[in-house]
Structure formats: structure tokens, C-alpha cells
Chain A
Amino acid sequence: MSKTLIRGAKVLGGEPQDVLIDGETIARVAPSLDAGDATVIEAEGRILLPGLVDLHTHLREPGREDSETVLTGTRAAAVGGFTAVHAMANTFPVADTAGVVEQVWRLGRESGYCDVQPVGAVTVGLEGKQLAELGAMHDSAAGVKVFSDDGKCVDDAVIMRRALEYVKAFDGVVAQHAQEPRLTEGAQMNEGVVSAELGLGGWPAVAEESIIARDVLLAAHVGSRVHICHLSTAGSVEIVRWAKSKGWNVTAEVTPHHLLLTDELVRSYNPVYKVNPPLRTEADVMALREALADGTIDCVATDHAPHPHEDKDCEWAAAAMGMVGLETALSVVQQTMVDTGLLDWAGVADRMSARPAAIGRLDGHGRPVSAGEPANLTLVDPAYRGTVDPAGFASRSRNSPYEGRELPGRVTHTFLRGRATVVDGKLA
């Protein structure tokens, strides 16, 4: 198999090293290596990270292939530096059976751009009433370990308790979309100063926080682990921090957009900013950044949510919720966490690769950049500056809130088990 030598890249932001990839594996890492017959990538000034892992991706297939497919979504993931994504279960049909998760898993293998680990639904049809066959999905070829009704909250406390308990049998985790449904009926945006002025239905922080508080208590009570999807408020951070201080098995993720954008943007009534959970306030953004830096929030997850143009080209109330994020995630994290001094590149590797892989119990990803490890790697040019142009996205959808924004950094190369999926910023 072919060999590639990445020359002079700063591994996790440290001292420059030469990294030799032989076949599917990292063969050697040393200050200076002889290229031999290897293809050489001159990577001076660039950062080498383990391939990024996303715990929260909506690939939309099966059912909404007009917005994304496994193929287009994994191509977008590769461009963004990801080597593994977790495909959320809210497809049509819902991924609540072994058959559907195996289908998604197989489509991922065929795409070849990025590993696709399907997430199974917690309840049949995401309806929150009856547990889906969690064991069958785990035992299937897809080997599901993460279960989520994402898009909907498992709001029934008994169902949530049972799910948390049940998945212990195979070391699974329930990823909760924390949204108390009664408190968010008709909700359109964060409830606060801006919603009061705009006359848009308010989505109170307490609707998220009350569910998180309940679920960390439930997880502690039954001795299970629980993962909180897309934390968005300062109050949620406090609850997770408290739960962790108790030693409870709680993990949490934050999206790139919640690290950067605030509800002030909704003043434009432009539905590209409509998302679930909603954009919050500046104080929430700062609390989320701090929590990601100190480890209270374990990882960044994109919640990449593609929508066709017509679902956003309308009035706010009629628009779909969600933003694409795979291709801009690392740049947003660089801007909000690295360039601000809150996190170094080793920290980025931890929050965007090692920890999400550990939460998902994903083999072969999130590993150290050292000899003998699988060559899942992402090479980043942190000095790059570019303006986001969704027209150039690999994703089938264009609903990016960063259109026209200048963001730092660019993924120049992505390697999936030694094979370059992205070369010089373009799909290989």
C-alpha cells in the first residue's frame, strides 16, 4: 500500500514532527524522517490532529435525500476534517430498528469518505412511548452504542429511567435532547429581551435546564451514564458541573454555533438563524466557551442539520430549525477557543476527537498521533483566512449561518485509515 510522509507538521500543536503513514497505519513519528518512496506533504506551520469525530450529525438518509445523503454528508464531513460521524436517528423511517441502522451503516461504508456510526432511536418512532429494540440495534452489524430521540426530548421520566438502565447491559449511552415540551410549545427563539421585542414565542432556558437536572439525577440513581446533546445555556453548564462534581457519569456536548452566535442575530428575522436549541445570549456563549475549556463540556458536536433552500426562504415561523455545520466546525472552534487562548490544539484534539470517540465507544478513532495507531488524521492550516461561501459546500444543503463571514483556519488534508479523503482542501 502507499506511503505518505507529512513533513514538519506540529502534532497537536506541539513541536514539528515528520509523520509517516504506511498503508492504514501511522508507521513512525519523529523529528526527521527519510521520505523514501513516500508521497511527501510539506506541512510546515500546519497542525496535525487525530481525525475529528462528530457525535451529532443529521445525514437525512433515508427519507430526506433532498437535503442530504450519507454520501454528500460524509463528503462534507471529510472536508471539515472528520473521520467519523454519528448519524442521528430522526430519519424517515426512523432509525429505530436493526434494519434501518444497518442500512445507514452500510451506506457509510460504501461512501468511503468517513466512518458512519448510526445512532439508534430510544423510543419507537421517536414518540417517547415505547422503547425501541435497543438490544437488537446494538447486536446488529451497526453495533449501536449511542441512543437518542434527538429532535425530540425523551420527556417521560419513567421511559428515560428505563432507557438509561437498559443500555447498561451493553455499555450504551442515552443522548438526551433536553427540551421540556410543554414549556416550549410554539417556541421560536430564546426567551428573553430579544424575543420580547420581536414578538416571537419564547424558548426559556429552564426548558432545557429542568430536563438536564432531572436526567443527571436519574442517571445517578440508576448508576448509568447519560450524555447531554447541544448544551446551550449557562444554567445547563452549572448543572452539569455540579453533577460531575458528584462523580456522576454525565457527559455533554456543545455545538460550534452556540459557541459563536447569539439571539441578537434573530433581529434580522432570517431563518438561517433558526435552530433547536435556539441561539442564546452573549452570557450563555461565554459560559459555554469556559465550560468547554475547563472540561465541564466534554466535546464539540456539530448538530449538522441540512435543510433545502425552500425550508429557509420563508417567514421565520414557517421555517425549519437547524444549520449545516460540518464544514465550518473546526474554523469556528479555532476562532472561539484557540484564537481566544481558551484551548490549545491538544485541547481541540481532545474535545473534537478523543472525547467524542470515548463517549461513543468508537474503536479506531480519537487515538493518539503515534506509531502503530490507525492513520485517521486531519491536517489544519491555522493561518488561513477565508470567507464562508456555502455555494462551495460539499453538503447538499446551504443553510449556513456563517455565509459571508470570515473564519480562520482550513482543513488541508484528511486521512481515513491512511487514505487521503481531502487533499489541499478539496475532496480526493
Chain B
Amino acid sequence: MLCPPGGNPRTPRHLISAADLTRDDAVLILDTAEEMARVADRPIKKLPTLRGRTVVNLFFEDSTRTRISFEAAAKRLSADVINFSAKGSSVSKGESLKDTALTLEAMGADAVVIRHGASGAPYRLATSGWIDSAVVNAGDGTHEHPTQALLDAFTMRRRLVGADAGLGRDLEGRRITIVGDILHSRVARSNVHLLATLGAHVTLVAPPTLVPVGVDRWPCEVSYSLDAVLPKSDAVMMLRVQRERMNAAYFPTEREYSRRYGLDGERMAKMPGHAIVMHPGPMVRGMEITAQVADSDRCTAVEQVANGVSTRMAVLYLLLGGSETALPSAAARTEENNA
């Protein structure tokens, strides 16, 4: 959800779900991220854009990599950053989300970047009237992780279209395969929405136990055979599969999972020569991906981390930068919806 100012310049916009981005919103974010990436190549990596603004990283779940990425992004834009780790507090009782939100509001947060174990928590934060700040979803339960999808799309566009050639363009016609625990993956949900919006053809590959009931309504295909899909893929995204899933009978054993759905060198050879391997991290080597694949130059996992900072800079810049031209189509669309 990217809410427009709607006449009140103090009303913030939010990024809650990749499904709320139009094609033009998404391309604007990717283009802006490309500009931000160029800043990273300069000797002084900082922009003064968000000087005097406060970004709070509100993390109810441990995720050092995501938090550091947002922190680096905000700092490169000269924002003040407050890290608020709420893990271990009385989250299970629910009161701490609201109470924490009120605390952050009192501290003058302009944006709250929230990671929460409960699906929908960022949406509640943005819509319950608890706070006025912009809300950025940094991963909620098994719902969405929109900035991950944006950095993934950014990585794909750079690799498959080109850093310069890609400007202004989407992923029309690219064939993207997402493999692994779709059922529990917020990364998969956000990617399916965003990639469909950008014109890509998405195929999900997983054992049937790890595909949600209701997936037939998603804008993608589903296959149970990795080998059948690999030769027709421009990018293959491997999702982390937690070993504990086998205790709930999602698959019989780790060995069987990696034999059927893991990516090893032999399987990677079936991919077209230009195709890339992606992973949102952290990788479980030996489970969904072998060391040989993870360390090959076709694997973009490390690049994705760097791209994450540029992409999150773009998101914070567009949400908070006061740029009147930012995200015009989102504004227009939501006004229509309100009518």
C-alpha cells in the first residue's frame, strides 16, 4: 500500500504489500535505486536528503541482515536512525505493538520500518490510527516482504536487462522460477505480486505440501518438477527451507527434499547460459542449494545484499524525501479507489 498525501501533506505513505505497487511505481523505485547505487560508488556515500528525519527500525523478530540493510540505507540518506528491538517483550499478548507504536510516535518517528512475526502487523500499524508515521513492511509473518521483492527485481533487471539499458524498463517476458517453501514464505508472496506487475512469467516449484491452498488464484504457474522448469528459466530463486518442516511431515527427510528440490551443479547446468541463481538468504547449504552453486558466479546472493541497500534507500527516499513527483501513479490510483 502506497498511500498518497491526499491533500494533507502530513499524511504519510506506506509500503505494506508489493501488490499495492503499480508497474510505474515499481519501475520508479527500481530507477531510483539505480541512482542510489551510483552514490555507493562515490568516495562519499552520503546524500543529505533525509537530514533531520528519523527512521525507526522496529524489529519484533531477529533479522540482523535486514535491519542492517535498512540502517545503512537510512544513514546514507543522512536520516537519524533508532534501532528498537522488541523481541522478548510481551509480544504474544499483542499489547506491545500498540504501546510501542505510541512510544515511537512520541519520539517523533517519521518512518517506522517494522519486522513482525504476525502477518498483517504492519498493516495494523499503518491503519489503526495508533501512529502518523510512514510504515515500511520489513517482513510480516508469512505474509509479505516487499523490499526483498524490490531488491530481487532490481537484481534481475540489472543482470538480465542491464544497469543502464534497464532504466525505465520492467521485466516483460522474463521467466522466473521460485523454488522451495512457498507456503511459509513472505518473500515468495511479495515476489509473485511484484514480478507479475512487472510483466514476468513466474513459476513456483515445491512439493505439493509446501504450496498454499488457494494458489490457483495467484498470477503464476505451479510445478512439482524442478527439472522440467529449469531449462525454461531466466532466473531461479531458491528459498530457504527450514529443516524443522520435516517434523510436521511437509517432506519425509532432508535428503529426499534436496534430491527432489535442491539445486546442485548438475541441475544448474540445465539452466540456459544467461540464467542466474538467486537466494534471499540466509542459505541452508546442503539443503536447498549446494556449496558449488552458492559460490558460483551465477549466484547473485552477495550482490542481492548490496542491492538491498540501494533499493531500501530508494523506498525511504520516495516515502520521506518530500519529492512531489514521487509515485504519482500510486496517488492517482488511490484517489480513484477512494472515490
Contacts and interface: CB of A to CB of B under 8 A. Distances in A.
Do A and B assemble together? Answer: yes
Interface of A: 188, 191-202, 204, 268-270, 310-311, 313-319
B217 A193 contact: yes
B118 A195 contact: no
A196 B184 CA distance: 10
Nearest to A310: B95
Contact-residue bracket for chain B:
20 to 34
A318 B93 contact: yes
Which of A196, A202, A315 has the largest count of B CB atoms less than 10 A from its CB?
A: A315
A192 B118 contact: no
Contacts of A319: 94
B189 A192 contact: no
Interface stretch (B151-159, B208-216, B274-282, B331-339): B208-216
Contacts of A268: 123, 127
Given A191-B214, A192-B213, A197-B214, A314 B189 contact: no
B306 interface: no
A269 B128 CA distance: 10
Given A194-B214, A269-B123, A318 B189 contact: no
Contact of A200 (B98, B120, B127, B215): B120
B142 interface: yes
A183 to B, nearest CB: 12
Nearest to B217: A193
Contact of A315 (B124, B142, B144, B214): B124
Contacts of A311: 94
Contacts of A199: 119, 140-144, 186, 189
Given A313-B98, A314-B95, A315-B124, A196 B212 contact: yes
B121 A315 contact: yes
A405 B108 CA distance: 35
A316 B124 contact: yes
Contact of B214 (A196, A310, A314, A317): A196
B212 A318 contact: no
A319 B94 CA distance: 7
Contacts of A192: 213-214
A359 to B, nearest CB: 34
Contacts of A314: 93-95, 97-98, 124
Contacts of A195: 212-214
Nearest to B212: A196
B91 A318 contact: yes
A350 B144 CA distance: 47
Interface string B177-188: 000000000100
B115 interface: no
A41 B126 CA distance: 51
Contacts of B141: 199-200, 317
B218 interface: yes
Contacts, number: 88
A315 B119 CA distance: 8
Contacts of A204: 213
Given A196-B218, A199-B143, A199-B186, A315 B213 contact: no
Interface string B106-142: 0000000000111111011001100000000000111
Nearest to B17: A197
Given A196-B213, A202-B212, 11 more contacts: A195-B213, A196-B218, A197-B218, A200-B143, A269-B124, A310-B95, A316-B118, A316-B119, A316-B121, A317-B119, A318-B118
A195 to B, nearest CB: 7
14 contacts: A194-B214, A196-B215, A198-B119, A198-B120, A199-B186, A200-B119, A204-B213, A269-B119, A314-B98, A316-B119, A316-B124, A318-B91, A318-B94, A318-B118
Nearest to A189: B119
Nearest to A320: B94
B213 A202 contact: yes
Contacts of B92: 318
A270 B259 CA distance: 42
B120 A193 contact: no
Contacts of A196: 212-215, 217-218
B311 to A, nearest CB: 21
Interface in B76-100: 91-95, 97-98
A316 B120 CA distance: 7
A186 to B, nearest CB: 10
B132 to A, nearest CB: 18
Contacts of A315: 94, 97, 116, 118, 120-121, 124
Contacts of A198: 119-120, 143
A269 B1 CA distance: 14
Which of B98, B120, B123, B212 has the largest count of A CB atoms less than 10 A from its CB?
A: B120
B46 to A, nearest CB: 35
Contacts of B19: 197
Contacts of B214: 191-197
Interface string B146-190: 000000000000000000000000000000000000000010010
A322 to B, nearest CB: 15
Contacts of A310: 94-95
A199 B213 CA distance: 11
Contacts of B213: 191-192, 195-196, 202, 204
A192 B215 CA distance: 8
A313 B98 CA distance: 8
A313 B127 CA distance: 12
A209 to B, nearest CB: 15
A204 B213 CA distance: 9
Contacts of B124: 269-270, 314-316
Listed from nearest, the 9 A-B pairs whose CB atoms lie closest are A318-B94, A314-B94, A269-B120, A199-B143, A196-B214, A199-B142, A317-B118, A196-B212, A193-B214
A302 to B, nearest CB: 25
A325 to B, nearest CB: 23
Interface in B1-42: 19
A311 B94 CA distance: 8
A201 B214 CA distance: 12
B9 to A, nearest CB: 26
A310 B217 CA distance: 35
A46 to B, nearest CB: 40
Which of A197, A200, A313 has the largest count of B CB atoms less than 10 A from its CB?
A: A197
A278 to B, nearest CB: 14
Contacts of B91: 318
A204 to B, nearest CB: 7
